[in-house]
Structure formats: structure tokens, C-alpha cells
Amino acid sequence: MKKYLSHIISAIITLVLSIIMYYIFIPPINLTSGDFWFFIIMVFIIATVVSGFGQFVQIFARATYSSRGFKSKKKKPAKVNYKDLGTFTKVSSLIALGIVALMIIFSFFSSKLINAKAYSKILQVEEGEISDLPSVSNTSAIALMDTDSAKKLGDREIGTLSSVVSQYDIEDDSYTQLNVHTSPVKVAPLSYASFFKWINNKNNGIPGYVVVDPVTMDANYTELSEGMIYVPSAFFSEDLERHIRMKYLTTIFDTPHFEVDEEGNPWYVAPVIKKTIGLFGGKKVTGAILVNPITGEMTKYKLSDVPSWVDVVYGGNYIAEQYNNYAQLQKGFLNSVIGQNGCRKVTEDSEESTSDYGYIAIGDDIYIYTGVTSVNGDSSNIGFIIANERTGQTKFIEASGADEFSAMNAAEGEVQEKGYEASFPSLITIDDIPTYIMVLKDKSGLVKMYACVNVSQYNIVATATTQEKCIENYKNLLSGNISLDEANNDSSEATTSETIDESLYTETEITITKMQTIDNNGNTYLYIVDQNNNIYNAKYTDVLDMLLVNVGDTVKLRIYEDKFLMAE
């Protein structure tokens, strides 16, 4: 009776500890999940330890002191024989070892070693053209800000809000590149600063999120009418992944990321994963789970049914990993390791791997781009991939030249006396020529300059304090109108004439209330203020007739935005 009672007690303790362990690690109950197999192994290890604990103590004591007594002078080391263990302990330990053996076998049959070609077919890659890249005419759709810069701007914005700065922060990896109302933005939710901050604020939830405009370099805090309860920084049942797991016990999903819809409502999106090769291999995105962090409501969608406002289902790291499989495993695993004939990979920093990418807004979607180089790890690209993060559609564009990091170094070299650091560039075409465009930041992360670097000849570099002037310098450099030194000196504006599209100007009569001249990069500009406090400016050499105008005069001018010309 005591034997059966001890087995029952061991089983109850094992069950309780297993439930606690499941609640902590929340693995999917799915045979294709390695986490689930590890969980089962740990359950039987716990069962072995719990059921055998009392037996180990008894056997140890018996082996040490039996037949000799406490006063024996001939002490021998204690011996514990496996045959002395109980049946329950033996069975649970053997099952744990058996599962480990099975896991090793299934992992082998799921590996790239024997399934190389299957891995190479997970991501479908189409052939693209240079025309698939955005042109300079649509630079407003290009996010020139890297995640580090966005974080610094977001932190500064939160630092000005006394009501939230002491209780919340923004985690380093929480920014997501989105396309909201056809404009690229980076968004990140606030997070609880600690467990005790969660205890103090969990009833109200996370009060808002930060939106950073990577084009204008502005950051704004959006306060929600109701707080977000189910978030990654919460604990227990309010932890986001645990909340999802409790509804979708068998679903394998990737790490959820934060998004907002077109109305500014917060959501978390968790890509759904299916293993398609063997038991454990061939990770493939098959859908997404959308979670409302305010109410906790969630829905699982197939890929074809994911709402159009969702921008990221295929993350950049996933696309890069699958492209490497596509580019390296088509001729078998051994070729990817030994011969490496025709093998390619996405570019990465030679000093440290980077998880940042270039981002481009096209239509309602966000595309990432990254260079493709040989597996030898040189500093040149043989082309680029551009991928839709919502649909996973990926194109390879053949264009040889410098890789992104060489271009960044070239841009930094032009302003080395300033010590500026280049952001990860985006890729555009200027006059149908592939060109890297990036920002240059000071040590505090503030954007100070812009740089354009020719892809095929990365010694062709233009810099300026504004994006428009940088592109203008680059165009003039390509056409031979200015020298390389002039293209990297703002004073070069004095040696080149500005092109003015006069058809955009509208004739307007205004009364001048103030006039002032300002020198800018070697040029004199005339600024005027009208009766409605509108401010206009023009290069003085283009409006010399203004020498005859005084404050208080009413004149006819041609106006376009904040620019003006003399009326004809």
C-alpha cells in the first residue's frame, strides 16, 4: 500500500510541477515544435527526480551504513545500483532518454543536410528590374532613419512627458516600420519599466505609443483613450504570448510585433508558422494572429485573409534567412559548404551582424531591401533583393557594385572631420542609376547631413545639409557640372544655378510688412512677410527688382509654397 501511495504522491507532484513549467514556458502542444519535445523531456526528468528522490536517500544510507554500523573503521564509498531503483523511476528515465534519441533522429531527417533542395524552395524569388526600385521623384516614401535613430527620438519624446517617463520606457527591439496612409513611419509601444511598475499600473494598462516619422525626423506620442492590457512587458495572464497561447494551444507562432491600423488603433501581429520539411524543419509563414491589446480579442487569419492594413507578416530576418537558403542550397548541402558554386548571401556587417534593413513604402505596403553578395564575404554586391513584408513576394535585382557598408564608409569618409555616422542606406534610382541614399548623424543621434553614393562607383559621393540639395549635388556630379569637392561642400550652391519651374507659381498681390536678408551657404536670400504673416523667400539674385520695394508697399508677386518670384 505504501508503495502505491508513494507512486500516487510522485505523480501528483510531477503533475503540479509540469503545469507550473508549462505556464512559465508556454510551448505549443504540437509534435513539430522542438519546444514541445523539450517540455516532454523535462516532464519525465522531473518524474524521475521526484519518484527517485526518496529511493536515492534510502539506498545511499543503506549502502553506506548497513552491516558496518556507525563505528566501523573500514568505510567504503556508497554504491547506488540502477537495479535498486523503483520501476516508476526506471521507466520515466528510459522514456526521457528515448525521447532525446527520437528528437535527434527526427532533427537529422529534418535537416538541410538531406533536404537542401526543399529548403531552397521555401521562398519563391522572382527576377526584378532596376525599374522596380523607387525613383528620386518619390523620395518621400523612403525611410532614411535607422532603428537606433528612431529610438533616440522616441526616448526624447517620452522624456518630455512627466506623466509616463517614470513608469514606462520603450524597449530597444520594439520599433516596427509601417506604412500608414501611404507614409512610412516607425512605431513602438510603451512598456512597463519593471515588474513593480506593472503592479502599480496594470489596471490602467499601457497608455500609448510613439510614432516616429523617418522622413521629417519628428517623433510624437499618441495617447490612447483606453490602456493596452495584453502586452509583452506584462506578467502572468496579461503577458501577450501567454494570452495568445491559452487560446491557440497547438499553434506555432513567431514573436508578436506592434502595429497600428489606418485609424491609429493598436494591434499586435504574430506570424503563424508551419514546419514543412520532416518534423522540425522548413519554417514557413502560413498566416497571422491579430490581437487587440486593449480588449484581448484575437483572430487567426490565413495569409490570403490578413487585413490589408497589416504591413509586416514576413519579418526582415525571416526573409533574409530564407533567401540565404534559396541562394545557397539549390545545388545541395555539400556545395553550400565545400564548393560553394553559385552560392550567394545577403550582406551583413563584417564587424557585427545587423538586423536593420532599408525600407521603402510602395503603395500600401512596406518593402525591405538588402544587398546580395558572394559567400566569400567581400565588400561588393552582385545585386539586391526587395521583398514585400506583408505578402512575402521577393525579387532579385541584378546590379553589381559596392555593398551597403562600403557605401556607408564612403559617406562617412567625406565628412570624417565631423565624425558623423551613416545610417543603413535605402536604395533609389537617380536618372535611372542605382544610388544609395542615407543620413549622417552626430554622436547624439541627430541627423546632420544627407549622402548619396553611387552603387557601381562608390567613390562618387555627394553630401549636403538637406535631402533636396544632396540629390541636386549628386545629379550635377553625375552630369559633370561640379567637381567631387563641390558636391560635398554646401558652398557649391553658389557655383550652380537653381532650376525653377515657373509654371508652378501663382500671381498674387500682397502687402509687405517686413523684409530681411539672410546669408545661407554663401548665397543671400531675401525673406518677406505679408499682411497675413506668411513668410516667403527667394535668392536675391533672382528678385533684384525688390531693391525698389519698401515695407508697406503692395506688390504683385508669383508665389509657390514658401518661394516667390517677381511678377511679369
Spacing of C-alpha 242 from chain mean position:
22
Q: Which residues contact 388 (CB under 8 A, 6 or more apart)?
A: 314, 365, 366, 367, 394
**Alpha-carbon span 98 to 158, nearest angstrom:** 53
Spacing of C-alpha 219 from chain mean position:
18
- The three-class DSSP label of residue 64 is helix
Q: What is the pLDDT of residues 371-390, one digit of tens each?
A: 999 887 677 899 999 999 99
Q: Which residues contact 2 (CB under 8 A, 6 or more apart)?
A: none
DSSP-derived pairing of the beta strands 421-422 and 433-441: antiparallel
**Alpha-carbon span 135 to 429, nearest angstrom:** 5
Q: Quote the pLDDT of residue 264.
A: 95
CB-based contact 419:439 (threshold 8 Å) = no
What are the distances in angstroms from CA 255 to CA 72, 392, 439, 452? 62, 17, 30, 35
The cell 559617406 sits on which residue?
411
Q: Quote the pLDDT of residue 504.
A: 75
Q: Where would I find the H helices in 329-430?
A: 333-337, 404-414
Q: What is the pLDDT of residues 432-456, one digit of tens each?
A: 899 999 999 888 777 889 999 999 9
C-alpha cell at 236: 502572468
CB-based contact 144:448 (threshold 8 Å) = no
The CB density around residue 83, as the number of other CB atoms within 10 Å, is: 5
- The three-class DSSP label of residue 407 is helix
C-alpha cell at 171: 524597449
List the chain residues with pLDDT less than 70. Answer: 1-3, 54-85, 138-141, 349-356, 377, 486, 490-503, 519-523, 568
Stretch (H or E) spanning 100: helix 87-109
Q: Quote the pLDDT of residue 65.
A: 54
CB-based contact 508:557 (threshold 8 Å) = yes
DSSP assignment letter at 154: H
Q: Quote the pLDDT of residue 2.
A: 59
The string of DSSP codes covering 466-502 is SHHHHHHHHHHHHHTSS-HHHHT-GGGGGGSPPP--G
**Alpha-carbon span 147 to 176, nearest angstrom:** 9
CB-based contact 427:384 (threshold 8 Å) = yes
